[in-house]
Amino acid sequence: MAHKVIISGGGTGGHIFPAIAIANALRRLQPDVEILFVGANGRMEMERVPAAGYEIVGLDIQGINRKSITKNLGLPFKMLNSLLKARRVIREFKADVAVGVGGYASGPLLMMANVLGVPTLIQEQNSYAGITNKRLGRKAKLICVAYEGMDKFFPPNKLLLTGNPIRRSSVTIDGRTREGLASFGLAEGKKTILVTGGSLGAKTLNDCVLGGLDRFAEHDVQVIWQCGSYYYEALQNTVQDRLPANVVLLPFLQRMDYAYAAADVIVSRAGAGTISELCAVGKPVILVPSPNVAEDHQTKNAKALLEKHAAVFVSDLSARSTLVDNMLSLIADEGKCFELQSEISKLAMLDADEVIAKEVLKLIK
């Protein structure tokens, strides 16, 4: 009889990509495994998961809105309805194990799995555990983590250091530098910086690059500038007459492998999934954590790398005055680049998806 696995969570690409990677690894290890995703209605996973070939059920759940108290009034009712629906889904699907990757839907699904006696596994992506996962961790059978020192949040006997599952296609860059540069119309033999604010873009990073255009031209440094689809049109109108030939402005990156391969230095936000990819890529990195995330996760993720001398840290607050200086000084400093490269590469964990998938199957047996 085929094993049945429920995977819950989502809300952002940082939660969805690891969830799909675990599902794909489960299918590789056990082709007849049945997998059902549970997400939050209206969130990104409701489109991305079916596109990856998996069935998904939506819960009508939301996070706490810190800006508007009135928007939280319906939260207890939504939580109760989500718990009842999660119970129904687990029973009807006859789940053998439930996996939570973080995001709104993880809470009710794993809570109800614990009540029904279905073993649960948590995949905690950040270096600082959120409130929901800390509570769920008390009853979870196993907690797979990406950072050391997580015993301050979870029972030590339940922890397994696995790293975060990553999109393997994005980090396979060996021998692709020439191809990568050509895909962006950039020249070989010139220093190249990749600036990426993720799929939605990052206003701070965009403002910094915009303010540094003349300096990039002056230093003959090439820039791949992924600004996010939300900002693209306005930026295109702003820079259309003065965008240097050595700067390529894009709303999003279709081929992350080409972007990573082309770059000598990478400037990025510090989401957990992004950091795991950057460790696998092994290039010098400047991290500018987003201040707009719950419990300031990104700053804590970035500082975990900083402590290991594996990244340069620039705060969002100081970025507009210091980031371009940091970019230009780092790309000119070969010794520093080599040091960062070797330290960040040591943190790479390439097979997290399969390690976690094996643990999921062990919980069933």
Give pLDDT tens digits for 92-108: 999 999 999 987 788 99
CATH code: domain of residue 317: 3.40.50.2000
Local confidence band at 70 (pLDDT 50, 70, 90 cut-offs): low
Q: Which of 58-67, 132-141, 233-242 has the lowest mean pLDDT?
A: 58-67
Taking the model in full, what pTM does it have?
0.84
Q: Which domain holds residue 296?
A: 169-345
Same domain for 46 and 112, yes or no, is yes
Reported confidence tier of residue 318, pLDDT bands at 50, 70, 90: very high
Domain count, the chain: 2
pLDDT band at 339 (very low <50, low <70, confident <90, very high): very high
Shared-domain flag, residues 151 and 95: yes
Q: Has 13 been labeled as part of a binding site?
A: yes
323 or 271, higher pLDDT: 323
Distance CA 144, CA 162 (A): 6
**What confidence category does residue 67 fall into, taking pLDDT thresholds of 50, 70 and 90?**
low
Identify whether residues 273 and 223 lie together within a single domain: yes
* More confidently predicted of 77 and 229: 229
Same domain, 117 and 194: no
pLDDT of the residue at 332: 96
pLDDT tens digits along 189-212: 999 999 998 877 899 999 999 999
Check whether residue 41 and residue 124 sit in a common domain: yes
Answer yes or no: is 66 a known binding residue.
Answer: no
Axis crossing angle, helix 75-93 with helix 106-115, rounded to the nearest 10: 60
Grade residue 13 by pLDDT with cuts at 50, 70 and 90: low
Strands (E), the chain: 4-8, 34-40, 55-59, 97-100, 120-124, 142-145, 159-161, 192-196, 222-226, 247-250, 265-268, 285-287, 312-313
Of the listed ranges 68-77, 228-237, 290-299, 337-346, the least confidently predicted one is 68-77
| 126 known ligand binder | yes
Q: Whole-angstrom Cα distance, residue 356 to residue 346?
A: 20
The average pLDDT across 291-312 equals: 88
Annotation-wise, does 204 bind a ligand?
Answer: no
Are 228 and 313 in a shared domain? Answer: yes
242 is in an annotated binding site: no
To 5 degrees, how large is the angle CA 243–CA 244–CA 248?
A: 75
Residue 276 and residue 181 in one domain:
yes
- The answer to whether residue 63 scores a pLDDT higher than 70 is no
Q: What residue type is 133 in one-letter code?
A: N
Q: Are 283 and 264 in contact (CB under 8 A)?
A: yes
Residues 111 and 176 in one domain: no
**Upper half-sphere CA count for residue 153 (Cβ side, 13 Å):** 24
Angle, in degrees to the nearest 10, between helices 334-345 and 316-332: 110
Mark whether 32 and 110 lie in a shared domain.
yes
Residues 106, 173, single domain; the answer is no
Same domain assignment for residues 140 and 243: no
The amino acid at 237? N
Query: Has residue 74 got a pLDDT over 80?
Result: no
Q: Are residues 263 and 248 in the same domain?
A: yes
